[in-house]
Structure 1
Amino acid sequence: MRSKKWIHLCIDMQRMFEDETPWQARWMPKIADQVIEVATRFPERTIFTRFVPPDAPEEMPGMWRDYYEKWPMMTARQIDPDLIKLIRPLQRLVPPARILDKRTYSPWLSGRLERTLNYEGVETIVVTGGETDVCVMSAVLGAIDLGYGVVLLKDGVYSGLDQTHDASLELLGNRFSVQLELATVEEWLGALSKR
């Protein structure tokens, strides 16, 4: 752990990725217990992001419009609104945990997250959630660009594909080793308890 000033950024642990939808990530349940463990221990330090689709493709700019034309059944107008919610065990942690809704893979584009973390003096971001090769990757690279230290809990992130999940962890661990630390939840909690 690089800093006492840390937050847990939990990426997109939502029912739309847990339930049977076109975006279901079938092995989210394999990491859910680890994510729940971290969030339950530190709800006041947890920020949950939620990927919130637009009502219709034409609300989005550029290639995002094409994206939702491919996935019209996942627009907010067509899906059950409960699918946008966090998975059930995490819902009860809000508050004190907070929610940050986003329309893109990155949680950084609106500037709200960076302003919040700067105000709170956060220096390190502990990351869980999914998907490793999409929204987690975007969140981690943005955090690194902004100068934050990152602890990526490798048994607390999921993806829809094993191959790209494994490749993403290898890429992040090898190419960003100065700015990013890979650890299991148990390793990180153990190190935290020794501080």
Structure 2
Amino acid sequence: MTKIKSTTVLAVIHEGKVAIGADGQATMGNYVAKSNVKKIRKLQEGKIVTGFAGSTADAFTLLERFDEKLNSYGGNMKRAAIELAKDWRMDRYLRKLEAMLITADKNELLVISGTGDVLEPDAQIAAIGSGSMYAQSAALALKKHAKGLSAKQIVEESLNIAADICIYTNHNLIIEEIE
């Protein structure tokens, strides 16, 4: 799978709720270009939430294509993701795009990459970006051991832990939920 740096996006399904969040930092080379980028988008009238890591222009192109696929396949997230991954891998233009997506609906999480991957992560936790392993590790521990936390609280705390460790991740968080 492609390694995307310069952000952290995390999604968690916990106790029937879905939360997805991302930090707001955009870097260009070795400096912070912007600290409050919104990397989370709601699609299909809020039934599907997606987060992106990588080149912003590339991610917006992929989000548009993903939304088109959702409309073509009646909002079926998994089918739309598979069709997007096929196009992404086969199309000369799309193949050059450097981004990754996490998509979530009320039942499942998917990670979509330009290498044709559509992954359903274990433990109903998905993470992408440079701080992804920090956020994912924290989310796994919190989901397992911190009783009484909501999906949103797990995402928030995990992203804050990643921001404390990863220089490409900041504490300006955007978190969205699906009930």
TM over 0.5: no
Q: Greater relative contact order: 1 or 2 (C-alpha under 8 angstroms, separation 6 or more)?
A: 2
- Structure with the largest fraction of strand: 2
If you compute each CA radius of gyration, which structure gives the higher value, 1 or 2? Answer: 1
- Provide TM-score, normalisation by structure 1: 0.29
- Provide TM-score, normalisation by structure 2: 0.30
